[in-house]
A and B are shown apart, each in its own frame.
Chain A
Amino acid sequence: MNRTRLLLVDDEEDFVFALAERLRFRKYDTRAATSGEAALSEIEKERPDIVVLDLKMPGMGGMEVLREIKTRDPSIDVIMLTGSVDSEIGEIALRAGATYHIVKPMDIEDLMKKLQDIEKQRGLH
């Protein structure tokens, strides 16, 4: 059975590891990267259907990664994770091409709903 391919990107290793396990548990084909550069390299290796991307990371920040993803392959959906409650930041991410944005700490059910919405819209599995 083909499963939706996710790429999680966050410099918080413990966070990304736990979230990846939870999404695997929910039958997603999940890979993880802990930097923007590593994320782009993972995308080169294998195209994910959806990227869950942290906004603030050292080095290449989330916004820069988002723009690069959209330049390379606009059909990849990106859910932006932000640690800020400032709704303006989320709106900027949406304008830059993110499909959704979620404020951390997030509710897994909220993330699942957004993943399922994208799967439905894109006709994924």
Chain B
Amino acid sequence: MEADKEEMLRQRQLTVIGKVLAGYAHSMRDRLATIRESDGWLGDLLGQAGHGTEEDRERFGEILSTIERQVKVLDRKSEFLSRLAQRMGTGLCTFDPGEIVEEAVTLSSRSAHLREVFLRPEVAETLPNLYGDPVRVHFLVLILINDMLERTGRSGKIIVRAGSVEKSVLIEIEGSGTLEAVAPPPEEGNQYWSIGQQVVADLGGRLQTTAIGRDKNRTSMILPIKQVPSTSEM
């Protein structure tokens, strides 16, 4: 009974956080729309004959292109934030694991940049959907990336892969140039490990970490492809 209450509270908390995030993402997109239109308006005016010298127009053009590039980056980030917000509190559903990996990498890119670590996703073009709690999986991928970031030295590299193997989806977080390449023990020594094990076990999968040589470490998450349970099973 207590566990049910806890779960209900957790779901409500996620729903509230989701609403806050969705509002924040929406507000970001509104601001970006204003920046883009103002930027575009200036471009329109500069495009008219008789405005400044050719050199001026070139310089302004470069500034406008920079603004547009930044808008695109923020647009993409806010899109991921928005999707993340929409999933909060949704509970069990069918979800695209590739989308989750791309979002988690994008949301972690700032931390990677500050640590001077190269971080990128490698998602298979076709990937089967999974059934489960997408918020938990997203959370897990995020904390595992964060864990790898903490163990990766400057100029290191982290690749987050998502692909399918037989009847499972394999998500791998591979760090190279790691300062500490030793695999953490299964139950202790790593603050994220027990949480990760639990989340993956709930999805019927397994989580493992492998040290490859002295400077490479790989955490693998194997998640079985489950069908949506019939009403009688739910």
Interface pick from B27-35, B136-144, B210-218: B27-35
Say which residue of B26, B34, B71 sits within 8 Å of A14 (CB atoms): B34
Residues of B within 8 A of A56 (CB): 26
Do A12 and B38 touch (CB < 8 A)?
A: no
Asked if residues B37 and A22 are in contact (CB atoms below 8 Å), the reply is yes
Interface residue B44 (Cβ < 8 Å from any Cβ of A): yes
Residues of A within 8 A of B79 (CB): 85
Interface size class of B (residues with CB under 8 A): 20 to 34
> With contacts A25-B44, A84-B82, A86-B86 known, is A18 near B26, CB below 8 A?
no
B18, chain A: closest CB distance, angstroms: 12
**Which A residues are CB-close (under 8 A) to B29?**
83-84, 103-105
Asked if A38 is at the interface of the complex by the 8 Å CB criterion, the answer is no
Instruction: Indicate if the CB atoms of B33 and A106 lie closer than 8 Å.
Output: yes
B83 at the binding interface (Cβ < 8 Å): yes
List, in ascending order, chain B residues with CB within 8 A of A105's CB.
29, 32-33, 35-37, 71, 75
Task: Return chain A residues, CB-CB under 8 Å to B38.
Answer: 14, 18
B 9-50 to A, binary, CB cutoff 8 A, 1 in contact else 0: 000000000000010011101101111111011001000000
Contact B37 A18, beta carbon cutoff 8 Å: yes
Are the CB atoms of A12 and B82 closer together than 8 Å? no
The docked-state distance in angstroms from the alpha carbon of A46 to that of B124 is 53
Number of interface residues of A (CB under 8 A): 18
The answer to whether A85 touches B83 (Cβ under 8 A) is yes
A21 within 8 A of B: yes
Q: Which residues of A contact B32 (CB under 8 A)?
A: 104-105
A88 CB → nearest B CB, Å: 9
Residue interface bits B53-83, CB-to-A below 8 A is 1, else 0: 0000000000000000001000100010011
Contacting residue for B41 out of A18, A84, A103, A104, CB 8 A: A18
In the assembled complex, how far is the CB of residue A45 from the closest CB belonging to chain B, in whole angstroms? 25
Report if A22-B40 is in contact (Cβ < 8 Å); known contacts: A85-B83, A86-B82, A86-B86.
yes
Query: Within the assembled complex, what's the spacing in Å between the Cα atoms of A19 and B33?
Result: 9
Given A86-B86, A105-B71: A18 and B40 within 8 A (CB)? yes
Q: Flag if A104 contacts B40 (CB, 8 Å).
A: no
Q: How far is the CB of B83 from chain A (nearest CB, A)?
A: 6
Complexed CA–CA distance, A5 and B48 (Å): 23
- Residues of A70-117 contacting chain B, CB below 8 A: 83-86, 103-106, 108
Chain B residue nearest to A103 in the complex (CB): B29
Closest-CB distance, A10 to chain B (whole angstroms): 9
Q: B83–A12 contact, CB under 8 A? A: no
Across the A-B interface, the 9 shortest Cβ-Cβ residue pairs: A18-B37, A105-B33, A104-B33, A15-B34, A105-B32, A83-B29, A83-B26, A105-B36, A18-B38
A-B contact pairs, 19 of them (CB 8 A): A12-B30, A12-B33, A12-B34, A18-B34, A18-B40, A19-B37, A22-B37, A83-B26, A83-B29, A84-B22, A85-B82, A85-B83, A103-B29, A105-B32, A105-B37, A105-B71, A105-B75, A106-B33, A108-B40
Given contact pairs A12-B30, A22-B44, A25-B44, enumerate 10 new A-B contacts (beta carbons under 8 Å): A15-B34, A18-B40, A19-B37, A22-B40, A83-B27, A83-B29, A104-B30, A105-B35, A105-B75, A106-B33
